Homo-oligomer: A and B are copies of this chain.
């Protein structure tokens, strides 16, 4: 007999129990959660017997493609998501306008000129300026780290193209946390190089495995008015390590960088919302979602088409099963996560007076789900919520998505922590995620339909219980 079943007997079938008074609110909640077992089984069965998450993913990614903020494709995706949720019968489906920055890549290239001619695969970084029309041709200076750059005298850096050859550790070594360190070079490398007089910055792509694969992503000019804004691009591991090997052998490579990248001002975009309205406390909201925008390469299938369609289809499964929770479950597809988070900030601003009980974002890819991470502003509440969440996820034992971690949720949903919301992120088997992250290879074939189904089920189950259970997550 399971612990939960025992608790159920203790609380409901043994009124004379001398421990009744210590069968606290915690135990009450646990037993309430255990009471959802049949519904959870029904959700799992319904999802596995067939769902439209993979079809939705194809419609979004194969038919529309990549969806950079300000692009025509993102507008199509926003329209598609509304039509799709309306076709599913969701309530209050609509778009909420958001102004976003429109950055455009244009043509771009990187080639080694000396010691021999060789094209180097690259992707300009989002937010970067372009080069002059004639490009920037300069000697290369390769450094393995920021510290190595800092230690060099200015005259060795001035007028060079600085190459940051910092290697992101393998997933097996860091369980993904290596990204946090390596991405600093992508975000800040141009500033570090410009502060020392460099003409441009090339950053080794933020990945531990490359098949000549450049990874784009956002960069920032954060150095203040005295620091020149210089072009910044990601090059492949292959390119960066070639330049490093040449330099180590006493050869100074010369590289020509050409970029037409430019900011085209503001553009109109939108978040997309759709609801399963609650039966008893419709004003209390449980959000599930992902971000509808992507970079302008690949088709944004894992990042974050998978998150969007999993949330949309989770709601669809609940509706098809005729399940209507006490609270409202709201799908939110945020815009502009990749280069501005204007969507998340706009959502917060527009909806801050509503009661957001909980929010779950799926933005780590549609791989096999492992559980949920949770983040709350109040640490004590986060602790309680994590324990309650663990009870909820016990019901997901059939798909092994039972793990609770703390301290992070998602870039978009995380904005809601300021409202006291229990913010969560779907955690998945992340071994392959960063191989395709922000690349031409982030395409539908990387998403396994069964794994996407399990993500969808996890969202459906968690959203259902969070929206229907007696108390709120994090309440004692």
Residues of A with Cβ closer than 8 Å to B? Answer: 58, 62-63, 65, 115-116, 118, 121, 209-213, 237-238, 241-242, 245-246, 249, 298, 435-436, 439-441, 443-445
Contacts and interface: CB of A to CB of B under 8 A. Distances in A.
A212 B443 contact: yes
A212 B242 contact: no
B439 A212 contact: yes
Contacts of A65: 116, 118
A436 B63 CA distance: 29
A242 B443 contact: yes
Contact of A445 (B121, B242, B445): B242
Contact of A444 (B58, B212, B213, B242): B242
23 contacts: A58-B245, A58-B249, A62-B245, A63-B115, A65-B116, A65-B118, A121-B440, A209-B211, A210-B441, A211-B435, A211-B436, A211-B440, A211-B441, A212-B298, A212-B440, A213-B213, A238-B440, A238-B441, A241-B444, A241-B445, A242-B443, A242-B444, A242-B445
A379 to B, nearest CB: 40
- The 5 A-B pairs of least Cβ separation, nearest first, read A211-B441, A211-B211, A212-B441, A241-B445, A212-B440
A444 B245 contact: yes
Given A62-B246, A63-B116, A238-B440, 4 more contacts: A211-B440, A213-B441, A238-B441, A242-B444
Contacts of A116: 63, 65
Contacts of A439: 211-212
Nearest to A117: B65
A298 B440 CA distance: 18
A144 to B, nearest CB: 14
A106 to B, nearest CB: 16
A115 B76 CA distance: 15
Contact of A238 (B209, B237, B241, B443): B443
Nearest to A66: B118
Contacts of A445: 237-238, 241-242
Contacts of A63: 115-116
A293 to B, nearest CB: 18
Q: Which of A212, A435, A439, A440 has the most B CB atoms < 10 Å from its CB? A: A212
A213 B241 CA distance: 19
Q: Which of A65, A121, A242 has the most B CB atoms < 10 Å from its CB? A: A242
Contacts of A118: 65
A93 B209 CA distance: 39
A178 B371 CA distance: 35
Contacts of A443: 212, 238, 241-242
